[in-house]
Amino acid sequence: MEEIIYVDKPAGMSSFGAVARVRRLLSEREGHKVKVGHTGTLDPFATGLLILLAGKATKKAPELTKKDKVYEAELRLGATSTTGDPEGEVTETGAELPTLEQIEAILPQFTGKIQQRPPIFSAIKINGQRAYKLARKGQEVEMPTREVEIYSLEILDYSAPTLKIRTHVSSGTYIRSLAEDMGKALGCGAYLTALRRTQIADYKLDELPLFALPE
């Protein structure tokens, strides 16, 4: 068999959990174990498009990884999180919240090619170990910056302290880091409360035949 499978991952499920469910269903259907791989993960709290490859289609992984992506994100201003998302320890900063005009004024510094520091709670390897494993042990983790490209960044809605944005980014861009950096630029702090991936390259979530994940 050879299949490309499109999944709308729900919140609370890991990407590997989604892979395992698809593998189980396909293996039951085919009567033998089916190899299933992913072309890029989503954090458990995030939702949206996952592209999975089954059987011989796994050979196409290099064609579908490291592609640009489109996300819709919800930021909470005036607070920070140890993980940059709802799963961390949240601290209120007590800072004055910005106006819409002040937010619009910082957007140019976060478009185009920028230097970004990935979050310490990420799967990036530091000296052969996953950064998040080191961070969970309380070890000091120094993440090197990397160049990423943000093709577009727009405000969808602002009702303080909640800011909703849509952004089109290169592969390797962390939206958690983008949220934190925007919070620093605004002087009030920020973290992600929701994240949805709506597009990978030319694959748009609302135009694809989606694979129904079991409950």
CATH classification at residue 41: 3.30.70
**50 and 98 co-located in one domain:** no
**Pairing relationship of beta strands 203-204 and 47-55 according to DSSP bridges:** unpaired
Q: How confident is the model at residue 32 (pLDDT cuts 50, 70, 90)?
A: very high
Residue 133 has pLDDT above 60, yes or no: no
Q: Which residue among the candidates 43, 68, 85, 206 is catalytic per the annotation?
A: 43
pLDDT at 129: 60
**Residue (of 60, 40, 45) closest to 200 by Cα position:** 40
Boundary of a domain, candidates 42, 65, 88:
65
**106 and 159 co-located in one domain:** yes
**54 and 79 co-located in one domain:** no
Q: Does a structural domain hold residue 142?
A: yes
Tell me the pLDDT tens digit for each residue of 42-64: 989 999 999 999 999 999 888 88
pLDDT at 63: 87
Three-class SS of residue 102?
A: helix
**151 and 179 co-located in one domain:** yes
Q: Does a structural domain hold residue 148?
A: yes
pLDDT at 1: 74
Q: Does a structural domain hold residue 121?
A: yes
* Domain that includes residue 166, residue range: 69-200
Residue 122 has pLDDT above 60, yes or no: no
CATH number, domain of 83, equals 3.30.2350.10
Count how many domains the chain has.
2
Residue 113, C-beta contacts closer than 8 angstroms, at least 6 positions apart: 147, 148, 149
**29 and 135 co-located in one domain:** no
Q: How confident is the model at residue 120 (pLDDT cuts 50, 70, 90)?
A: low
**133 and 192 co-located in one domain:** yes
CA distances from 126 to 16, 62, 120, 131 (A): 22, 23, 10, 6
Judge whether 157 counts as a catalytic residue.
no
pLDDT at 83: 87
Tell me the pLDDT tens digit for each residue of 70-114: 999 999 999 999 889 998 899 999 999 999 999 999 999 999 999
Q: Return the C-alpha torsion angle 83, 88, 91, 93, nearest 10.
A: 30
Residue 116 has pLDDT above 70, yes or no: yes
